[in-house]
Chains A and B, each alone.
Chain A
Amino acid sequence: MSGADFDLYQQLVLEHKRSPRCFGTLPAPTHQARGRNPSCGDDIGVQLQVAGDVLQDIRFEGRGCAICIASASMMSEAVRGQKLDDAKDLQQRFRAVITGEIEPEEANLGKLVSLGAVRRYPSRIKCALLGWHALMHALQDAGGGAAAQDDPDIVVDHAGAAGDAAAPPTPDGAPR
């Protein structure tokens, strides 16, 4: 194994791929959205429980590659219980790292820094950002703030109020 693929598929990333956190659905989400990468079939739905300015709970489900699932899993872990503004701020820093705008060490990403190598794989950037796109679209109606930045590769079905985003299929590689 070369050093480069070890960098992309770090143990923490693989561990989140094998056992994604916050995987599933919420009984009564206040917000939800679903993102898809049409070219590869990756499909992630995010459900939120928002109270005031706090993101109390989050679940995601869907299918995707290891990078996509691990990123959505680590994202969910990182934003659960956070203030909405902090979640949005984290998304912007993560996105800036993944798209190469700032260096991973400067972004204070916590565990998410283990996805930093994605920036060296242009064709995989959209994989790492899919869950985050769905999160940002779900959050758009929750307390205003910055609109989600869209990537042309990603399609987002926006369902501000809970209930009308179609359920995505089960994931590849996630517990069933």
Chain B
Amino acid sequence: MGDRLPSGDAMTSAFPVLAQQVNGHALAYLDNGATTQMPLQVMEAMRRFDTHSRANIHRGVHTLSQRATDAYEAARERLLRYVGGNEAHELVFTSGTTESLNLVAQGLSLPGMPSGGGGAALLPAWIQPGDEIVTTALEHHANLVPWQLAARRTGARLRVLLPDAEGCVTTEALAALLSPRTRVFAVTACANGSGERPPYEALLALAREAGALTVLDAAQAVSHEVPQLSMLACDFMAFSGHKMYGPMGTGALVGRREALERLTPLRMGGDMVEWVSETDAGFAAVPQRLEGGTPNVCGAVGLAAAADFIDGVGREAISAHVEALREHAVAGLSALPGVRVLARQTRRTAIASFVAEDVHPHDIGTLLDERGIAVRTGWHCAQPLLERLCQSPTTRASFALYNTHAEVERLVQGVAAALDMLR
């Protein structure tokens, strides 16, 4: 199996953090599902902003404020294009997927304000008592817990689409859960605990047909299999910058403008109002309405630079590369005695999550770290899924464009040695 991307040297010069030794071995960073590394190109874009244009945005009449505003709004446009948005869509900057999903869940649970203000009655919340919210058992806690709370707050019922024994969810199973009371359907584009890539296109379409607003958690897909909004029956899509070679603490909620307008903001304050009196306020249009307070402008610039970086390398090439690494890892790990890789048959995913008989993931993780190999161990914030699939935490290797087949070999050898030692 050959690597299809620029050579290892080019990669390590783009990602200086990779060129280090850990416990006496070259670092093999296989924890990209948690956080990807950031290339120099992205750091440089942020440094340029901070050294040249740093100022607060909007309503500043001075030159730096105008530059900062231009950079921020250009980043918004760039990222909206990156995820396939069109003129019907808007992008709201957030601190990441978790904030984005909380914004949707809370925003649909609370009575909303009319755009005009001026003492007009609050609009009723989208979710009402007796309504139904549907999510799946594949979700990260960030796409489950906010919906649990939304259901309790509103008196709605939370229904959970369960996977089969292999961890797959189907449109048939979803159809059985949908009803005229379904108001929201939320699903992941790739399960971070197992790596399963559900047929989210068909699931979203089915839920929209039933009258639900649809929510896609794209955190694990946004670095290689970027969902294209205008091709999807998707009202809201959430993603994080730090999982797509961008800065930590950045991310976005993108969606249909009309759907975003239904959200009651999480944060009231500056920059999200048109006018304010002592006792009332008129609220700005989206996206500003949902971005109260000074945003992470430098982070937005870095996030847009990360999109440029990905498109510079090529999404197809990245996707093919990480999928090949995952297949390599699945084949190697599955051949070890007593090892079971979750979601083995799934495609277009960069995550290999596995359990080993009689050996705990923490021990595997520590022994791999001794060999300079970074993986994640535990529940991966997806406890319901893992309880269902394997009743235990897992070891998870997750791949990025800078990883190599040689690193996958080291992973497989490292796991084999750990099993030998611990059994």
Contact = CB atoms under 8 A, between A and B. Distances in A.
Interface of A: 1-2, 4-5, 8-9, 14, 17-18, 39-42, 63-68, 121, 123-124, 127, 169, 172-173
B393 A9 contact: no
B358 A172 contact: yes
Given A40-B379, A66-B422, A173 B23 contact: no
A5 B367 contact: yes
A63 B359 contact: no
B358 A173 contact: yes
Given A2-B24, A63-B392, A66-B360, A9 B377 contact: no
A121 B366 contact: yes
Contact of A40 (B367, B371, B377): B377
Interface in B366-397: 366-367, 370-371, 377-379, 383, 391-393
B50 interface: no
Nearest to B355: A172
B121 interface: no
Contacts of A5: 366-367, 370, 421
A77 to B, nearest CB: 20
B362 interface: yes
B363 A65 contact: yes
Contacts of A169: 391
Given A2-B24, A9-B363, A14-B422, 7 more contacts: A1-B417, A2-B371, A39-B379, A40-B361, A41-B378, A41-B392, A65-B362
Contacts of B391: 169
A40 B378 contact: yes
Nearest to B24: A2
Interface string B408-423: 0000000001000111
Contacts of A66: 359-360, 363, 422
A15 to B, nearest CB: 12
Contacts of B360: 42, 63-66, 68, 172-173
Given A2-B23, A39-B378, A14 B358 contact: no
Nearest to A40: B378
Nearest to A66: B363
Q: Which A-B residue pairs are the 3 nearest by beta carbons?
A: A65-B360, A65-B362, A5-B370
A51 to B, nearest CB: 35
Contacts of A9: 363, 367, 421-422
A1 B421 contact: yes
A40 B377 CA distance: 8
Contacts of A4: 23, 370
B359 A172 contact: yes
A123 B362 CA distance: 9
Contacts of B392: 41, 63, 172
Interface of B: 23-24, 358-363, 366-367, 370-371, 377-379, 383, 391-393, 417, 421-423
Nearest to B367: A5
A127 B363 CA distance: 10
A33 B422 CA distance: 28
Contacts of A127: 362
Contact of B366 (A64, A124, A172): A124
Contacts of A67: 362-363
B392 to A, nearest CB: 6
Contacts of B361: 40, 65
A57 to B, nearest CB: 27
A2 B371 CA distance: 8
A40 B359 contact: no
Contacts of B422: 9, 14, 17, 66, 173
A124 B371 CA distance: 17
Contacts of B378: 39-41
B221 to A, nearest CB: 25
A41 B377 CA distance: 11
A17 B360 CA distance: 11
A37 to B, nearest CB: 9
A68 B358 CA distance: 13
Residue in B370, B371, B391 whose Cβ sees the most chain A Cβ within 10 Å: B370
Contacts of B379: 39-41
B362 A40 contact: yes
Contacts of B24: 2
B359 A173 contact: yes
A39 B361 CA distance: 12
Nearest to B394: A41
Residue in A1, A18, A169 whose Cβ sees the most chain B Cβ within 10 Å: A1
A64 B361 CA distance: 9
A14 B421 contact: yes
Contacts of A39: 378-379
Nearest to A121: B366
Nearest to A17: B422
A17 B362 CA distance: 14
A18 B392 CA distance: 18
A99 to B, nearest CB: 18
A124 B421 CA distance: 18
B145 to A, nearest CB: 14
B421 A41 contact: no
A127 B362 CA distance: 9
A68 B362 CA distance: 10
